[in-house]
């Protein structure tokens, strides 16, 4: 069973369409299922049938950890991983059935994404002391994340050759190696150029790489490092909410739609394959519009009292 798992993971590596995190998630999910099969006395993937799968789902629902019962999103992800794994076994190993094929995952309610209001974003970005090299880097980092709606993985992977200062665009390689071009505004350009000339140039030393955002040793930042820097600044400002990097991406999309941007334009800027993924931000804007209406319209206000 472990041999087939390794063959599948090698296949994923050859496809080169997912991140390291995706591969690790596949491995964890398959290992978890193998452990369950061992407890049930099942010694082969071929022995797995619909009843075993339903018992597995029941066992997932009974699990609990520090955060409570396993979330529907986690269960759905495990089932999706195993469905893909069995699809591979069907096509390349010769196993005939895919017991996960017609098993419906738990219903997942779409969460409204967390975002910062514009005045909160402005306060955060203006809070850095630009006389300090570290603050100058952080301002440029977070300004660019908000300017372009970047994922944290995209900003730490950004290279000098990805930046076109003449046209003021970034060339981004997103999930699944999908390419997109995202413009940035003048303020982001100014902050980025100042960081590159005044800070990065002195920190890079003799290292030969083109990673844009680096630490004082000349090494590239990590995703966790960016998360830490963001939360540290939020705490220093006394912000009561938990800030995370994806919140800047959510804010980017929400603010664009609030100011009249076309949904398909926002989809293109975010690099979403499906328009439905982008549409959740419309719900955010509509909800804010509704609340503003209730607060402002005299008859609507009267009904609330």
Strand, coil or helix: 128 = coil
Q: Is 228 tagged catalytic?
A: no
Contact present, 64 and 50 (Cβ < 8 Å): no
To the query of whether residue 249 is one of the catalytic residues in this protein, the response is yes
Neighbours of 173 (CB within 10 A): 16
Using a 10 angstrom Cβ sphere, with 0-12 exposed, 13-18 middle and 19 or more buried, the burial of residue 240 is: exposed
- Please tell me which residue in 78, 139, 200, 249 is annotated as part of the active site: 249
Rounded CA-CA distance 267/258 in Å is: 14
**Catalytic site residue 272?**
yes
Options 56, 86, 146, 281, the catalytic residue = 281
- Phi and psi at residue 15, to the nearest 5°: -65, -35
Q: Which of 78, 137, 139, 151 is catalytic?
A: 151
Residues 6 or more apart in contact with residue 204 via CB below 8 angstroms: 214, 218
Is-catalytic flag, 151? yes
200, 250, 255, 272: the catalytic one is 272
Report how far residue 195's alpha carbon sits from residue 176's, in angstroms, rounded to the nearest whole number: 30
Of the residues 175, 180, 194, 219, only one is catalytic, namely 175
* 3-state DSSP assignment of residue 155: helix
Residue of 259, 278, 280 lying closest to 268 (CA atoms): 278
**246 is an active site residue:** yes
CB 158 within 8 A of CB 170: yes
Active site residue 111: no
Residue pair 265/253 in contact (Cβ under 8 Å)? The answer is no
Active site residues: 151, 175, 246, 249, 272, 281
């Amino acid at each position: 069973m472990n041999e087939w798992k390794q063959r599948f993971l090698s296949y994923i590596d050859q496809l080169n369409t997912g991140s390291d995190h995706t591969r690790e998630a596949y491995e964890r999910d398959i290992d978890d299922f193998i452990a369950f099969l061992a407890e049930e006395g099942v010694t082969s993937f071929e022995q797995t049938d619909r009843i075993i799968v339903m018992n597995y789902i029941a066992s997932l629902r009974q699990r609990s950890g520090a955060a409570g019962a396993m979330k529907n999103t986690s269960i759905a992800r495990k089932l999706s991983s195993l469905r893909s794994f069995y699809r591979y076994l069907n096509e390349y190993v010769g196993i005939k059935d895919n017991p996960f094929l017609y098993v419906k995952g738990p219903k997942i309610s779409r969460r409204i994404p967390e975002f910062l209001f514009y005045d909160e974003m402005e306060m955060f970005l203006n809070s850095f002391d630009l006389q300090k090299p570290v603050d100058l880097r952080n301002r440029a980092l977070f300004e660019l994340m908000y300017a372009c709606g970047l994922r944290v993985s995209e900003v730490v992977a950004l290279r000098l050759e990805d930046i076109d200062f003449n046209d003021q665009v970034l060339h981004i390689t997103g999930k699944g190696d999908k390419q997109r071009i995202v413009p940035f505004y003048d303020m982001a350009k100014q902050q980025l150029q100042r960081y590159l000339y005044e800070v990065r140039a002195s920190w890079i030393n003799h290292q030969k790489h083109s990673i844009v955002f680096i630490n004082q040793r000349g090494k590239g930042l990590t995703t966790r490092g960016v998360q830490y820097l963001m939360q540290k600044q939020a705490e220093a400002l006394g912000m009561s909410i938990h800030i995370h990097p994806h919140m800047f991406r959510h804010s980017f999309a929400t603010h664009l739609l609030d100011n009249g941007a076309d949904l398909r334009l926002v989809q293109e800027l975010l690099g979403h394959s499906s328009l439905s993924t982008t549409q959740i931000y419309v719900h955010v804007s509509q909800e804010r519009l509704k609340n503003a209406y209730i607060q402002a319209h005299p008859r609507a206000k009267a009904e609330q009292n």
